[in-house]
């Protein structure tokens, strides 16, 4: 038995009993003053008043006393990233800010395709190292579960190289990487055929290997005028579902139609949604699809934020993720970007914290993390502060002083 009791925390936030969907206010948060966390074999055995737990635990349980004012809460889940990439797109950023259009940037050698070229140039080992380095930056922010998409390979071998690199990185890291296949990011410029032909080839050739090598359980697609249409994607998603993959969608980033596809295919999440109107919001709110806001992408390209307030008020589930990628979202800062979204969209602390913990876990179909309650993974962060409100208030300036994964301190 590997048991430890940690505390007393100035505040322990459990996220207990908060619903998966809809608006939240801060009075719904369970905040235990002088709280304790009892961990057994990497999972939460009990939470509650520290002294009460201490008398229950007895001498057999190791006790780790927390000396200073600290706040403890579930560690974060970043449910949408593209961190397995080569190269850099600083020039796209500069050109965009100087007024260049999407087309002009692509013509000057930028855009998604330029990252595809750089990613193809990297070896699997290099890609693994780049992924690990970026994952370490996320871990320092208190993120212990990170979704990682392919989508800069865009042919069978290159998509496999990326997902194998992610699998290897996952094996070498003290955090969980959740891989997703985004072969449907755009039709590659070197593919001679239609969008549907490209997708059919990927479904026939790539999907079986993903299964064989257990490289991912998730299939994503970018539904957009510049990528794939709702019609293009039908057979691809049908095939994916037949094989048992979960679906997730880059939806309504610049134009609508992606969220309707997400709902029709029972996707786990619809991500972006900057262009969603009342119709898409109502559709999502009526479904179990988690709406994922990516405020760092709005900041990266200078466009509207996802209508997070209206989504929550309509009853949708809202997660927030970094979308860390070299093009639209280079910052890779979860709490900073979530704290900014909170001011722009008027989100409560409870809504922001839910969006980066159990609601983000739900977007990855993971129900074993994101709350500090009995039976959940003992994945948590500690902040040197006496008030949890400081986390969103300081918009990323307050960083965790320790990060625990599966009951082990992986950063302290």
**Nearest to 356, CA basis, from 329, 315, 319:** 319
Which of Fe ion, ligand NIG, none does residue 47 bind (CB under 5 to 8 Å by kind)? none
Contacting ligand NIG (CB under 6 A), which of 162, 180, 325, 333? Answer: 325
Nearest distance from residue 101's CB to ligand NIG, in Å? 15
Strands 143-149 and 76-78 come out as parallel
Q: Tokens standing for 304?
A: 């509207």
Contact window for ligand NIG (CB under 6 A) among 161-169, 255-263, 321-329, 330-338 = 321-329
**Could you tell me what percentage of the chain is helix, strand and coil, using 3-state DSSP and rounding each to the nearest 5?**
40, 25, 40
Q: Among residue numbers 290 through 309, which ones bind ligand NIG (CB under 6 A)?
A: 297
328 binds, among ligand NIG, Fe ion, none (CB under 5 to 8 A by kind): ligand NIG
Q: Is 390 helix (H, G, I), strand (E, B) or coil?
A: helix
DSSP labels for 150-218? --SS-SHHHHHHHHHHHHHHHHHSSSEEEEEEEEETS--TT--S-HHHHHHHHHHHTHHHHHHTT--SE
Q: Which does 332 bind (CB under 5 to 8 A by kind): ligand NIG, Fe ion, none?
A: none
Contact by Cβ (8 Å): 264, 244 = no
Contacting residue, 71, 112, 166, 223, with ligand NIG by CB under 6 A: 112
Q: CB under 6 A: which stretch of 39-47, 126-134, 233-241, 320-328 binds ligand NIG?
A: 320-328
Q: Which of 387, 362, 285, 324 is nearest to 72 (CA)?
A: 387
CB under 5 A: which stretch of 15-23, 170-178, 188-196, 317-325 binds Fe ion?
317-325
- The CA–CA distances, whole Å, from 105 to 102, 336, 391 equal 5, 28, 37
Restricted to residues 196-225, the positions that interact with ligand NIG (CB under 6 A) are 222
Q: Which does 79 bind (CB under 5 to 8 A by kind): Fe ion, ligand NIG, none?
A: none
Question: Which residue among 78, 176, 323, 379 contacts ligand NIG (CB under 6 A)?
Answer: 323
Tokens 């880059």 belong to residue:
250
Question: Is the link from the previous residue into 8 a cis peptide, with omega within 30 of 0?
Answer: yes
Check binding of 322 to ligand NIG (CB under 6 A).
no
Instruction: Report which of 409, 411, 398, 410 is spatially closest to residue 69, judged by C-alpha positions.
Output: 398
User: Shortest approach of Fe ion to residue 257 CB, angstroms?
Assistant: 17
Q: Which stretch binds ligand NIG (CB under 6 A): 53-61, 199-207, 279-287, 326-334?
A: 326-334
Least Å distance, CB 303 to ligand NIG, is: 10
Nearer Cβ to ligand NIG (233/391):
233
- Beta-bridge partner residues of 4: 39, 62
Give the span between the Cα atoms of 321 and 333, in whole angstroms: 9
- Contacting ligand NIG (CB under 6 A), which of 216, 328, 362, 385? 328
CB of 184 to Fe ion, least distance (A): 12
Q: Among 250, 359, 371, 405, which residue interacts with ligand NIG (rule: CB under 6 A)?
A: 250
In 3-state terms, what secondary structure has residue 402?
strand
Question: What is the side-by-side order of every strand in the sheet holding 290-293?
Answer: 76-78, 143-149, 176-184, 218-222, 246-251, 269-272, 290-293, 317-320
- How many whole angstroms separate alpha carbon 272 and alpha carbon 220? 13
In this complex, which beta carbon is closest to Fe ion, that of residue 252 or of residue 323? Answer: 323
CB of 151 to ligand NIG, least distance (A): 7
Residue nearest to ligand NIG (CB): 327
Is 252 a binder of Fe ion (CB under 5 A)? no
Taking the C-alpha atoms of 52, 57, 62 and 67 in order, what is their torsion angle to the nearest 10 degrees?
Answer: 0
**Interacting span for ligand NIG (CB under 6 A) from 140-148, 192-200, 283-291, 322-330:** 322-330
Of the two residues 5 and 364, which places its CB atom closer to Fe ion in the complex?
364
When asked if residue 323 is in the footprint of Fe ion (CB under 5 A), the reply is yes
Is 228 an interacting residue with respect to ligand NIG (CB under 6 A)?
A: no
The DSSP string of 247-272 is EEEEESSSSSSHHHHHHHTT-SEEEE
Partner that binds at residue 199, options Fe ion, ligand NIG, none, CB closer than 5 to 8 Å by kind: none
Q: Which residues contact 61 (CB under 8 A, 6 or more apart)?
A: 3, 4, 5, 38
Q: Which does 158 bind (CB under 5 to 8 A by kind): ligand NIG, Fe ion, none?
A: none
The span of 69-77, 204-212, 320-328, 332-340 binding Fe ion (CB under 5 A) equals: 320-328
Nearest to 402 by CA among 390, 410, 392: 410
| Residues near ligand NIG, by CB under 6 A | 82, 112, 115, 222, 250, 253, 297, 323, 325-329
């Amino acid at each position: 038995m590997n048991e430890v009791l940690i505390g007393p925390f100035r505040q322990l936030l459990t996220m207990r009993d908060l619903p998966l969907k809809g608006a939240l206010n801060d009075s719904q948060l369970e905040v235990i003053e002088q709280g304790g966390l009892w961990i057994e074999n990497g999972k939460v055995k009990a939470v509650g008043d520290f002294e009460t737990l201490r008398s229950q635990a007895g001498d057999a349980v190791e006790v780790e006393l927390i000396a200073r004012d600290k706040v403890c809460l579930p560690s974060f889940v970043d449910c949408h990233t593209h961190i397995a990439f080569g190269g850099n797109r600083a020039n796209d950023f500069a050109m965009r800010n100087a007024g260049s259009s999407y087309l002009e940037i692509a013509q000057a050698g930028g855009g998604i395709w330029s990252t595809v070229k750089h990613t193809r140039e990297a070896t699997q080992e290099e890609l693994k190292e780049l992924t690990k380095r970026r994952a370490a930056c996320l871990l320092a922010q208190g993120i212990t579960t990170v979704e990682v998409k392919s989508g800069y390979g865009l042919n069978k071998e290159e998509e496999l190289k990326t997902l194998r690199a992610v699998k290897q990185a996952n094996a070498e890291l003290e955090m969980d990487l959740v891989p997703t296949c985004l072969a449907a990011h755009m039709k590659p410029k070197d593919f001679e055929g239609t969008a549907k032909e490209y997708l059919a080839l990927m479904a026939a050739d790539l999907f079986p290997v993903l299964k064989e090598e257990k490289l991912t359980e998730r299939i994503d697609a970018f539904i957009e005028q510049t990528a794939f249409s709702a019609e293009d994607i039908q057979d691809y998603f049908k095939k994916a579902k037949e094989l048992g993959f979960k679906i997730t969608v880059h939806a309504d980033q610049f134009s609508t139609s992606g969220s309707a596809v997400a709902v029709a295919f029972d996707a786990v999440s619809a991500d972006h949604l900057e262009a969603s109107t009342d119709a898409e919001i109502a559709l999502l709110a009526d479904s179990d699809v988690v709406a994922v806001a990516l405020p760092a992408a709005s900041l990266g390209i200078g466009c509207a934020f996802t209508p997070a307030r209206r989504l929550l008020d309509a009853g949708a589930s809202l997660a927030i993720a970094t979308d860390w990628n070299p093009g639209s979202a280079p910052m890779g800062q979860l709490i900073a970007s979530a704290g900014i979204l909170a001011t722009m969209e008027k989100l409560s602390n409870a809504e922001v914290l839910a969006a980066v913990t159990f609601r983000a876990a739900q977007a990855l179909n993971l129900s074993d993390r994101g709350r500090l309650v009995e039976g959940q993974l003992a994945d948590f962060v500690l902040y040197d502060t006496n008030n949890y409100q400081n986390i969103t208030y300081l918009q990323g300036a307050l960083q965790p002083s320790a990060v625990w994964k599966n009951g082990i301190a992986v950063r302290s």
